[in-house]
Amino acid sequence: SLASPGALARLAGLYGADSGSLEARLASAAPQLAAESVTIVLDDADRASDDARAGIVALARGLAVTGAGSLAVIGSDEALTSRLEAAGAEATAIPPLSSEDVRGLLEDAGARASRSLVDALREASAGRAGVVASLAAALADDPRRSDAEVVAEARQRLAPRPSEIPRDARAAAIAALDAGEGRRALALLDTLDDPTEADLVQRASALELIGQLADALDVLGTLAPAHGNWRARLAAKLGRYEDALRLAADDEEGCALAASAALSLGRLDEVETRVRRGEEIGEAARFASIRSDASLRAGDAAAAAAHAQVARDAAQTPRQIAEAESRLGSALSLGREPERARAHHVAALEAAEAAGEPSMLPAYIVNVATAHHALGELGAAMARYEEAARLSERLGRTAMAAVALTNLAGLLVSVGARAEAEAVLGAAREAAEASGAAIYRSQCALIDAERLSNEDRARAEALARDAASGFEACGASRQVLEARLLLAELSGDPEAMAGQGDALRASGLEARFALLQAEVARREGALDAALSSSLRAAESADSTLRARALSLAAEVARRHGDPDAAARAAAAREAAEEVASALPPGLRERYLAGAPEPPSPTPEPAARRLGEGGRRLLSLVRRVLLEGDERRVLEAAVDEAVASTRAERAFLLRPQDAGEEVLVARNLDRDTIRSGRFSRSVAERVLASGEPVLTEMATADPSLAGARSVADLGLRSILCVPIRSPGRVVGALYLDHRFETARFDGEDLELVGAIGDVIGMALENARLHREARARAGALERVNEEIREENVRAAMRLERLEQRLAADERGEGEAEAGIVGTSRPIRRAIGVARRVAPSDLSVLVEGESGTGKELFARFVHAESHRSDGPFLAVNCGALPENLLESELFGHVRGAFTGAHRDHPGLFRSARGGTVFLDEVGDMPPRMQTRLLRVLQEREVRAVGAEREEPVDVRVVAATNRDLAAAVEEGAFREDLFYRLVGVRVALPPLRERQSDIPLLAAHALERIASEPGMRAVTLSKAALATLLLHPWPGNVRELWQTLRRAVLVAEGDALEPEDLALGVDGALDRRAALRRFDRRLVEEALRAADGNRTAAARALGVSRMTIHRWIKRYDLG
């Protein structure tokens, strides 16, 4: 019980977590609790302190991360519920008990109560089941207690406990700190009139415990300078590294704090000074980790590894081992030893898992993922990045989630999975914003710029500039360099990185810069330089970059006529296949589709037969047939046309209703396309005529004399061919050169015309794919409708078979729970069956226990709505505001506690039936709302701005005389007539006594299949007793009587005394239940050899309960 002080601290202490805040202790204990699959039930959550609440949330997060163990928090208020839901818990609202529920609990306990006591107890207990159940047990133990005493005790149990301040607040504050309850300690210390210096020290401890570090530092600043290292540690945690340097003492701990602060400031010389001083006066091993970090910052991999090994040798706890192994992995990564680095990062993760602190895990998982990435194990890296992101989100570590997601997005971009990268970037941006760290927002912008580099260059450049500015503000020099390199790639200007050679090498970006130089050299026709730079880039350890570099080298070699061109193409294809083999299915095939085709095993004969152009065209055709991405095929085709003809510019045009659309462009930016600074008139002529245009000197060509754009732009060479699809022209491929005359000849026209035909085939192929997908989707929808109809038909057939079987057994409507052959019940069934096929409202009238809901279900099952939902609500059991939400729904935020949208019964039951039980108890305001819904067939959820149509049938039930209620003004007359489409009157059991034998037999058959029950028969004397009883509770009372009789009967046939229906029936039933309980406890203790804990477990009760039973039945 959370009403018990220190309960959670004791729980954490049982699992070795006895230091730090209560939140940290429970987070630390969670993995061990989960490992043992412990189930934790925390009651009285509304009485939990603030410290306990933080601890409960930490415990919930820890269990959610491991996926084992169970936590139930009972009595949670709105604020705690919201925090627990964010941690992955599921909230369940438990409505207060109705008067009928209270009566049932009392009867189950064997307590007898009048109607007035039931109502008074429900009100005094606020309908809380725990309070009612405990009072029911107490009342059963002592039936002589007066009604007033029972009600008074219920009110006392609900009364808030006064928040008393202990007499010795100082001692209580120290005890609270020992339990990790910093907030409680602060509250106690606030009561002191004249705090001493020791009290202020306790206050600082409490503030640090709850994370208010700045306030703790301020408190310590008012004391004598004896807490320098404490203040230095707090200052470092707050990022005040200069203050940490100033405050740290000249001892071993102070030197370690100062060295770490200096490292954060990048002052490596001061780090060395402080470390040497610390080694002189303390243990050298303590400073090995700091030396390793400093060496990493300086780029000295060997020194970083050596110092990390010293730290590893001195490490004793799993946490220390994890930190040392991680440093070793980082040092080996810097030293270009990725396989060894991965092994150490895996060892670090294993140590972190052994430490049992879930908050440590995401960073170590990201390190393992990075190691996989460096080794080209891309699929494994993706899986680890996703694991780290999921775990970080569960733990609420948004910054680490941003790290994992940005790394994953960058990997996806590098393999061409741009759509997947876009989705991951969306989640990464949310995590970055939640973390509040600008560096992660800049990282998202940088990766998004890379993603858009081939689609929207202007947008990509803007994002890259924003990223560079953000990195500069954060002091992230390596990322600044990467952003500037991307800007150089986008502009095609390697000179923008002039003088950055050393920085590029130190940052591992040298190979990427070499690839940029190769691409620019190829574009300018400097093929020797392009080949040299691409081969230099191919030395990269990054598998995707190496594959791109080898692909470029193969293309340059082919254009250069290099005799090694075939071998280079084979190497490029092999590198691409190596990358693809490490990718998950789906990404693998898409990546390979864009890779260079493998060279022919006999290139020389093929070259003689097809020629260079023929082979390239054949490769393009093959790609059209295999590639699923239409845009990538079109881009490849335009690139092939430009490369084959050495055109300066090119674009692919497709006619649209509102003008022409440029699908792909090369060396034409958006402004040029938008302003028409190319010969659109030539392209339009080709689109209109379907004939190609070839000119050696465009300005002197008489056929283009009317084309003003040719003269205005000073174009020299133009080649434009139509793109044909069966029976029509669907586009134009345009190439030009503004500076060379006769750039294109007849062979170029033939080749580009063939490329145009390939493009036409690609567009037609894409159209056919779209139509096929649309047809497949439509077919799937039809199939789904057929499947649903088959399910509905099967359900109807099953109901028909059940009805036929029931008729054969003579049980009438037993399949719906309605049993009987008497004239009154058959008349009611007949009315219900006749009205069922219509959509008329039905009002079922009858006393409590006559089976009104069974008849409502029968009407639903016999209607055309039987395949739809049947949803029921007891209008008298819910408070007015809760009933309104239950019926009509609410939107999120409509009222306190509305954490999510709730559709309500009228919308949830679309196509089915809503059953309004005890409709006569509905409050007046709700009657008005219900009337409007029935009239307008529309419903507006609480807090919503508009109505929504509803399609339901309403069946209502009441045990009151609604007509009389209308006359008295207690029920709306217009609503009454809306509900009374047809009235079905159910007879009480005393008016259908001939059905009692059938009902009893049916009930005993069903009861026998219930847990803990058995099959018994009914003796003639018992049946006679049933027939003589007046049954004020009707069929429900009959069932409960038979259930109790089965429990207490000793023989295989029920006798009259088992039924306890005599004059002193209530007392007889209580005595029978006591005999049964006593026998049950005796058998459990005997089976457990007297072990009370084992006996309680077997009975499914607590140790306290079985102790109470042993005392009650004198079994000690």
Residues 378-417 pLDDT 10s: 888 888 898 888 888 766 677 788 889 999 998 888 888 8
CATH (domain of 221): 1.25.40.10
Per the model's pLDDT, the better-predicted residue between 780 and 650 turns out to be 650
722 token code pair: 């139509």
- The CA-based angle 22-23-25, given to 5 degrees, is 60
| In-domain check, residue 610 | no
Query: Pairing relation of β-strands 948-949 and 953-958?
Result: unpaired
Alpha helices, H only, 582-679 = 587-593, 603-626, 630-645, 670-675
What letter does residue 1101 receive in the DSSP assignment?
Answer: -
Distance from chain centroid for Cα 365: 19
Residue among 85, 5, 91, 89 nearest 49 (CA): 5
315 token code pair: 């490490």
Per the model's pLDDT, the better-predicted residue between 372 and 141 turns out to be 372
> For 807-823, what is the mean pLDDT?
62
Residue 695 predicted with pLDDT over 60: yes
> Of 53, 86, 119, which one is at a domain's C-terminal end?
86
CATH (domain of 1087): 1.10.8.60
Shared-domain flag, residues 147 and 232? no
pLDDT at 595: 59
Shared-domain flag, residues 688 and 762? yes
pLDDT at 604: 42
Residue among 806, 955, 948, 965 nearest 889 (CA): 948
Shared-domain flag, residues 13 and 51? yes
Q: Considering Cα of 540, then 546, then 548, then 549, what sign does the dihedral take?
A: positive
CB 1016 within 8 A of CB 1046: yes
**Confidence label for 710 from pLDDT (cuts 50, 70 and 90):** low
357 token code pair: 């602190």
Report the distance separating Cα 366 and Cα 378, nearest Å: 13
| In-domain check, residue 165 | no
Pick from 21-35, 644-658, 724-738, 992-1006: least confident: 21-35
- The CA-based angle 364-369-373, given to 5 degrees, is 145
Distance from chain centroid for Cα 116: 49
| In-domain check, residue 640 | yes
Q: Write the DSSP assignment of 114-129 as a string of letters.
A: -HHHHHHHHHHHTT-H
Specify which of 223-227, 232-236, 669-673 reaches the highest per-range mean pLDDT: 232-236
Residue 145 predicted with pLDDT over 70: yes
Report the distance separating Cα 373 and Cα 543, nearest Å: 9
**Confidence label for 1065 from pLDDT (cuts 50, 70 and 90):** very low
Q: Considering Cα of 962, then 965, then 971, then 974, what sign does the dihedral take?
A: positive
Residue 653 predicted with pLDDT over 70: yes
Shared-domain flag, residues 818 and 967? yes
Percent of the chain with pLDDT over 90: 7
Percent of the chain with pLDDT over 70: 84
Give me the phi and psi of 722, to 5 degrees please: -75, 150
Could you read off the pLDDT of 929-955 as tens digits, one per residue?
A: 899 899 889 998 888 888 889 999 999
Burial class (CB in 10 A: 0-12, 13-18, 19+), 715: buried
Residue 713 predicted with pLDDT over 80: no
Shared-domain flag, residues 109 and 67? no
Shared-domain flag, residues 926 and 1045? no
Helix (H, G, I), strand (E, B) or coil at 135: helix
CB 362 within 8 A of CB 397: yes
Residue range of the domain that includes 560: 513-600
Q: Considering Cα of 1046, then 1051, then 1053, then 1056, what sign does the dihedral take?
A: negative
Q: Residue 661's beta-bridge partner residues?
A: 654
Per the model's pLDDT, the better-predicted residue between 790 and 1039 turns out to be 1039
pLDDT at 546: 86
Shared-domain flag, residues 979 and 864? yes
| In-domain check, residue 1084 | yes
Q: How many CB atoms are closer than 10 A to CB 940?
A: 18
Q: How many CB atoms are closer than 10 A to CB 871?
A: 18
Specify which of 115-124, 187-196, 512-521, 699-708 reaches the highest per-range mean pLDDT: 512-521
Q: Considering Cα of 654, then 655, then 661, then 662, what sign does the dihedral take?
A: positive
> For 684-700, what is the mean pLDDT?
81
Residue 500 predicted with pLDDT over 60: yes
Report the distance separating Cα 268 and Cα 294, nearest Å: 7
- Quote the number of domains for the chain: 7
Residue among 69, 87, 65 nearest 391 (CA): 65
Shared-domain flag, residues 71 and 218? no
Residue 1046 predicted with pLDDT over 60: yes
Report the distance separating Cα 1007 and Cα 987, nearest Å: 24
Residue 239 predicted with pLDDT over 80: no
| In-domain check, residue 53 | yes
Shared-domain flag, residues 963 and 1021? no
Is this model's pTM higher than 0.75 or not? Answer: no
| In-domain check, residue 181 | no
Could you read off the pLDDT of 866-882 as tens digits, one per residue?
A: 888 889 998 887 788 78
What letter does residue 838 receive in the DSSP assignment?
Answer: S
CB 860 within 8 A of CB 913: yes
Report the distance separating Cα 53 and Cα 296, nearest Å: 41
Q: Residue 73's beta-bridge partner residues?
A: 42
Shared-domain flag, residues 241 and 143? no
Q: How many CB atoms are closer than 10 A to CB 586?
A: 10
Could you read off the pLDDT of 318-349 as tens digits, one per residue?
A: 888 888 898 888 888 877 788 888 889 898 88
65 token code pair: 């991360």
**Scanning the structure block, which residue is given the tokens 């509304």?**
46
Q: Write the DSSP assignment of 1082-1102 as a string of letters.
A: HHHHHHTTT-HHHHHHHHT--
Residue among 55, 3, 345 nearest 161 (CA): 3
| In-domain check, residue 491 | no
Q: How many CB atoms are closer than 10 A to CB 745?
A: 13
CATH (domain of 901): 3.40.50.300
Distance from chain centroid for Cα 686: 53
CB 927 within 8 A of CB 934: no
Specify which of 597-606, 640-649, 901-910 reaches the highest per-range mean pLDDT: 901-910
Report the distance separating Cα 514 and Cα 489, nearest Å: 11
| In-domain check, residue 425 | no
Report the distance separating Cα 1098 and Cα 4, nearest Å: 27
pLDDT at 994: 83
Average pLDDT, the chain: 80
Q: Write the DSSP assignment of 232-260 as a string of letters.
A: HHHHHHTT-HHHHHHH--SSHHHHHHHHH
Q: Residues 452, 454, 458, 462: what is their CA dihedral angle, to the nearest 10 degrees? A: 40
- How many Cα atoms occupy the beta-carbon half-sphere of 580 within 13 Å? 17
CB 1022 within 8 A of CB 1054: yes
CB 814 within 8 A of CB 928: no
Residue 735 predicted with pLDDT over 50: yes
Burial 400-413 (b: 16+ CB within 10 A, else e): bbbbbbbbbbbbbb
Shared-domain flag, residues 946 and 1068? no
> Of 265, 288, 311, which one is at a domain's C-terminal end?
288
pLDDT at 603: 42
Could you read off the pLDDT of 242-289 as tens digits, one per residue?
A: 888 888 888 888 898 888 888 777 788 888 888 888 888 877 777 888
**Confidence label for 600 from pLDDT (cuts 50, 70 and 90):** very low
Report the distance separating Cα 653 and Cα 731, nearest Å: 5
Give me the phi and psi of 664, to 5 degrees please: -140, 140
pLDDT at 58: 78
> For 997-1004, what is the mean pLDDT?
90
Shared-domain flag, residues 963 and 1048? no
Q: Write the DSSP assignment of 1009-1075 as a string of letters.
A: TSTT----EE-HHHHHHHHHS--TTHHHHHHHHHHHHHHH--SSEE-HHHHT-STTHHHHHHHHHHH
